[in-house]
Copies of this chain bind each other. A is one copy, B any other.
Amino acid sequence: MDVVGIGETMVLFSPKANGSIRYARDFSSRCAGAETNTLIGLSRLGHKTGWISKIGKDELGEFIISTVRGEGVDTSKVLCDSSAPTGIFFKGVVNEKDTRMYYYRKGSAASKITPKDIDKQYILKAKYLYITGITPALSQSCYDSIFYAAEVARENGVKVVFDPNIRYKLWSGAYARETILKLAGMSDIVLPGLSEGKFVFEDKNYESIAQDFADNGASKVIIKLGEKGAYYLSGDDRGVVPSVKISHVVDPVGAGDGFAAGVLSGLLDGLSLKESVSRGCAVGSIVTTVNGDIEGLPDRETLKYFVESSNYNEINR
């Protein structure tokens, strides 16, 4: 097993047309979960991945299972809770500057994950444990579970990879900051976005934010800079990797998860940190050119072609 992830995946319903959601009559459903996005991205690139989670005993949960399993992610550790529903949410683009979300995830099956649901042996088989800052915000038992998992990994030489992925709606600012810092401190690799870094360490530039995370305990820090690419820091090895230029962002959601998949894929392949970050940038860019979180995730060939044709265009412009 290369990477094990823990977290909630929900069914996302989105109107087929933009504008006030009240006018929508037709909705599409999709699987949406930060952790599974990354695991699927890794699986698409040929790595072995596994997912720990909980779904409700309902058809929406079955939809999630068959989608994630269909992508090649091992789902043998996903439990089914007959007392709680699978979480869902609605997302609609109200206007150009206003994307609205309505969650029905309170009391969801995944929010009932407890440390007992975390199979220690399963984590120990992996090279990396992938977690995000969403899970500890779901419930106390989720909070306990994610810390338990991180400790288990840490104590047994499984590298912890942490994407803060702060959902401000889910918890209070101070508590979020504290939890993020704690988890980041237990992690080997931290992958915050620039604005998340600013939130945690107040308003600073990316170099100092990266240093702060390093001082806080992470051996590798990668700050996502959006269109500008990413900054990485690992001891003295540091620098900015520019993103792959694209002409039109269709859907920015999922770019960060694809980025994480690309970085981890590079590290698993034995690439340097810089090369790995570069792969992360490429995967992140591809994802934004397509609607949906996983629909754009590339396999090796697609990734290669994308990078090459980008370089080609860059040179020939």
Which residues of chain A have a CB within 8 Å of any CB of chain B?
13, 17-29, 58-60, 62-63, 65-67, 69-72, 85, 88, 90, 92, 94-98, 100, 102, 104, 106-107, 246-248, 250, 286, 289-292, 295-298, 302, 305-306, 309-310, 313
Contact = CB atoms under 8 A, between A and B. Distances in A.
Nearest to A88: B104
23 contacts: A18-B250, A20-B62, A22-B63, A23-B63, A25-B25, A25-B28, A25-B29, A26-B26, A26-B27, A27-B27, A27-B28, A58-B102, A59-B90, A59-B102, A60-B90, A66-B70, A69-B70, A70-B70, A85-B104, A88-B104, A95-B306, A97-B313, A106-B107
Contacts of A25: 25, 28-29
A254 to B, nearest CB: 11
A69 B72 CA distance: 7
Nearest to A86: B102
A77 B171 CA distance: 34
* CB-CB nearest 8 A-B residue pairs: A70-B70, A19-B295, A21-B59, A66-B70, A96-B289, A22-B62, A22-B63, A19-B290
- When all copies of this chain in the complex are counted, the total is 6
A306 B94 CA distance: 10
Nearest to A104: B104
A248 B247 CA distance: 12
Nearest to A66: B70
B69 A302 contact: no
Contact of A95 (B17, B100, B298): B298
A195 to B, nearest CB: 11
| Chain A interface SS verdict (over half) | mixed
A95 B20 contact: no
Contacts of A250: 18
Contacts of A19: 290-292, 295-296
A12 B60 CA distance: 15
Contacts of A17: 291-292, 295
Contacts of A28: 25-27
Contacts of A71: 66, 70
Contacts of A248: 96
A52 B15 CA distance: 28
Contacts of A20: 59, 62, 295-297, 302
Contacts of A289: 18, 95-97
Nearest to A106: B107
Q: Which of A19, A65, A313 has the most CB of B within 10 A?
A: A19
A266 B302 CA distance: 42
A60 B295 contact: no
A284 to B, nearest CB: 12
Contacts of A27: 13, 26-29
A98 B29 contact: no
Contact of A97 (B21, B67, B106, B309): B309
